[in-house]
Amino acid sequence: MSIRIAMAGQKGGVKKSATARALGTAFAGAGMRVLIADFDPKQTTCTKWNLRRQSRFPDLPAIAVKPYASVAQCLREADEYDVVIFDPGAFASEIMVEAAAQAHCVILPTALGLDDLEPSVDLANGLVQRGVDPQRIAFALHPAGDSDSELAAAREYLGQTPYATLDGYVPQMTIYSMAHDLGLSVIEARSPVPRQKAERMIQSAINTISALAN
């Protein structure tokens, strides 16, 4: 069976697709066949990003990104891939819950202020009420600001929940959105320090996912 990862977020623009792309390119770089299921039929931002990637960087690790109308439709093709990443649309939806229920690991990217942390924890609690195993849920500190004390406070806040928090963080930086414009992921950003920051968090995600999938 393929490794299945679900992205989730209570609000739009919380970096679900950015985290999905980074995970996808990391697994593809390790030689795995990767599918990102784009459940955002209006925007299909991941699908369009992958078209930019294929045309500009045909030599980079290739991933499949396809739009799907339902989780069931995606699961019919899932066994063709080693890794399937469910990327739901902007707001918490039934598809997001269904995808989370099918995943070995559910990743919730969150910014660091209480305005973002509280809804992220509420969403995690809601997923658990809908049957998701709390041990399968992990927060990703993405996007972070420029304050170490805010990072520490966010880790402490999330540390009081039953859910894991990935190591590392990805800051809010233009270099990452520029990478997306080119068809690259945050772990392929064209500047070493931001790239290494993203790599650290994504490696932590891969370690967590691998442990859960085994």
Ligand X SMILES: Nc1ncnc2c1ncn2[C@@H]1O[C@H](COP(=O)(O)OP(=O)(O)OP(=O)(O)O)[C@@H](O)[C@H]1O
Binding at 119: pick from Mg ion, ligand X, none (beta carbon under 5-8 Å per type): none
Q: Contact letters (x/-) for Mg ion, 15-44, by CB under 5 A?
A: -xx---------------------------
Binding segment for ligand X among 72-80, 100-108, 125-133, 165-173 (CB under 6 A)? 165-173
* Residue 93: partners with Cβ closer than 8 Å, 6 or more residues away: none
Among positions 180, 199, 205, 206, the unique one binding ligand X when judged by CB under 6 A: 180
Phi/psi class of residue 177: alpha, beta or left (left: φ > 0; alpha: ψ in -120 to 50)?
alpha
The count of residues interacting with ligand X (CB under 6 A) is 20
Please tell me what DSSP assigns to residue 171: B
Query: Residue 185, interface with Mg ion (CB under 5 A)?
Result: no
| Residue number with CB closer to Mg ion (16 or 197) | 16
Residues paired with residue 38 on neighbouring β-strands, in sequence order: 67, 87
| Residue number with CB closer to ligand X (164 or 170) | 170
Work out the number of other CB atoms within 10 angstroms of the CB of residue 11. 16
First to last CA, the chain: 11
Binding segment for ligand X among 128-136, 146-154, 155-163, 174-182 (CB under 6 A)? 174-182
Site of interaction with ligand X (CB under 6 A): 9, 12-18, 40, 45, 89-90, 143, 170, 172-173, 176-177, 180, 186
Site of interaction with Mg ion (CB under 5 A): 16-17
